[in-house]
Amino acid sequence: MTAQRPPLRPETLAVHAASHRSPFGETSEALFLTQGFVYPDMETAEARFKAKGAQGFVYSRFGNPTVAMFEERMAALEGAEAARATGSGMAAVAAALMGPLKTGDHVVSGSVLFGSCRFVLAEILPKFGITTTFVDGTDPAAWRAAVRPETAAIFLESPANPTMDLVDIATIAGIAREAGAILVVDNALGIPTVSNPLALGADVVTYSATKHIDGQGRCLGGIVLGSKAFIEERIQPWLRHTGPALSPFNAWVMLKSLETLSLRVCRQAENALAIAEALEGAPGIERVRYPGLRSSPQHDLCRRQMTCGGTVLALDVAGGKRGAFAFGRALEVVKVSNNFGDAKSLVTHPATTTHERFTPQERAAMGIGEGMLRLSAGLEHPEDLVADVLNAARAAAAVAAG
């Protein structure tokens, strides 16, 4: 009798899952940089088109062996039945909403979102007769109250970009189930290996693979994960016919990056915590928002639904925009950028970049002040990062005092 083995853990799956080797037996996944495929005869071509690609590849806009390895590996990591990759995180979010929704449907969404996610819900979907009610994501009663008979989807980011507010995913999944709506979670800041929305009851998860999955600032990419039926019936036709495909080269980079994802994210999260602890109460810093901090009002929820506090924190710097810009000018190790999840530590001023298209009142309602910064911790030595941010906080304090 063979001994029963426990299921493979995420670190192992991230290295080995879905390594479909060519007859050459390569160790590194093969890069199939091809647009199309040739068939032994027209009968085979006819059969593959009839089977909609299920019996072999047809065209790389909707299926490619390297991209498929990335999709299958991600599905294994997340415990999803199926996944489809896209050319960017926004293509994944758009597909997860446009694929299943139709005119007359209603969406309930957390109000704090990445600027482009909010644009899709507030500006693009209404053109097709799909409306959204935005609620305070931290208040389950507000989600429940916003549900209507025509609510077909609930959308959230947790942590939300850029405030790092967490949403209680299991509770919102219960509300979605009662409403007969699908729960779509954009887990760009939650990260595979840190938070698993499907295990908490979500139906669909999207990622910007541009962030931690690549993790080294090279390629754009995205992915939608869910049940086989949802992916095949709602997502695949949308992607096949509108065409936001992930390039095989980018899929290959993402596959290699998945191998180091958990190591990178663990170290980045330790660095984020070190920065958060150093800046809490420091001169020039009014508030540190990081769910991994024991003092965070969301620390208990963080412990329930995440393995750590994540790699990104939000800071409210004294002196408003002038203080925040002085903080940015004084940094030497941390770079000013609008990305996150990178090996390099990066800082962003959301009010003038990712969320600049909102009015000051709309930003204030989302908790995004003029002095707020989003800081993504990288892989540098923690003491170098702490020294850098403390120096920057002193610069902000001097500006605020003057």
Q: How far apart are CA 188 and CA 95, in angstroms?
A: 15
What's phi and psi for 81, nearest 5 deg?
-70, -30
Q: Is residue 301 within the footprint of ligand PLP (CB under 6 A)?
A: no
Q: Which is nearer to ligand PLP, 37 or 109 (CB)?
A: 109
Q: Which is nearer to ligand PLP, 153 or 278 (CB)?
A: 153
Q: Which is nearer to ligand PLP, 96 or 399 (CB)?
A: 96
Buried b (16+ CB within 10 A) or exposed e, 308-347: bbbbbbbbbbbbbebbbbbbbebbebbeeeebbbbbbbbb
Q: Is residue 220 within the footprint of ligand PLP (CB under 6 A)?
A: yes
Q: Which is nearer to ligand PLP, 203 or 285 (CB)?
A: 203
The H or E element that residue 54 is part of is none
Longest Cα separation, the chain: 79
Footprint of ligand PLP on residues 329-348 (CB under 6 A)? none
Q: How far apart are CA 89 and CA 236, in angstroms?
A: 16
Q: Which is nearer to ligand PLP, 210 or 311 (CB)?
A: 210
Instruction: Give the residue nearest to ligand PLP (CB).
Output: 89
Supply the minimum distance, in Å, between the C-beta of residue 340 and ligand PLP: 7
The H or E element that residue 194 is part of is none
Supply the minimum distance, in Å, between the C-beta of residue 87 and ligand PLP: 8
CB atoms within 10 A of CB 229: 10
Footprint of ligand PLP on residues 174-193 (CB under 6 A)? 186, 188-189
Footprint of ligand PLP on residues 144-163 (CB under 6 A)? 157, 161
Supply the minimum distance, in Å, between the C-beta of residue 158 and ligand PLP: 10
Question: DSSP characters for 59-88?
Answer: BTTT--HHHHHHHHHHHHHHT-SEEEEESS
C-alpha pair distances (Å), 156 with each of 168, 254, 260? 10, 24, 27
Q: Which is nearer to ligand PLP, 93 or 390 (CB)?
A: 93
Supply the minimum distance, in Å, between the C-beta of residue 154 and ligand PLP: 16
Q: Are 110 and 153 in contact (CB under 8 A)?
A: no
Supply the minimum distance, in Å, between the C-beta of residue 43 and ligand PLP: 40
Q: Is residue 210 within the footprint of ligand PLP (CB under 6 A)?
A: yes
Q: Which is nearer to ligand PLP, 161 or 195 (CB)?
A: 161
Environment class of 22 (CB within 10 Å of its CB; exposed 0-12, middle 13-18, buried 19+): exposed
Q: Which is nearer to ligand PLP, 132 or 208 (CB)?
A: 208
Q: How far apart are CA 214 and CA 208, in angstroms?
A: 9
Residues that bind ligand PLP (rule: CB under 6 A) add up to a total of 16
Footprint of ligand PLP on residues 83-142 (CB under 6 A)? 88-90, 93, 114, 116-117
- Residue 150, Cα to own-chain centre: how many angstroms? 27
Name the packing angle between helices 382-401 and 320-330 (round to 10°).
140
Supply the minimum distance, in Å, between the C-beta of residue 189 and ligand PLP: 6
Supply the minimum distance, in Å, between the C-beta of residue 341 and ligand PLP: 9
Chain positions contacting ligand PLP, by CB under 6 A: 88-90, 93, 114, 116-117, 157, 161, 186, 188-189, 208, 210, 220, 222
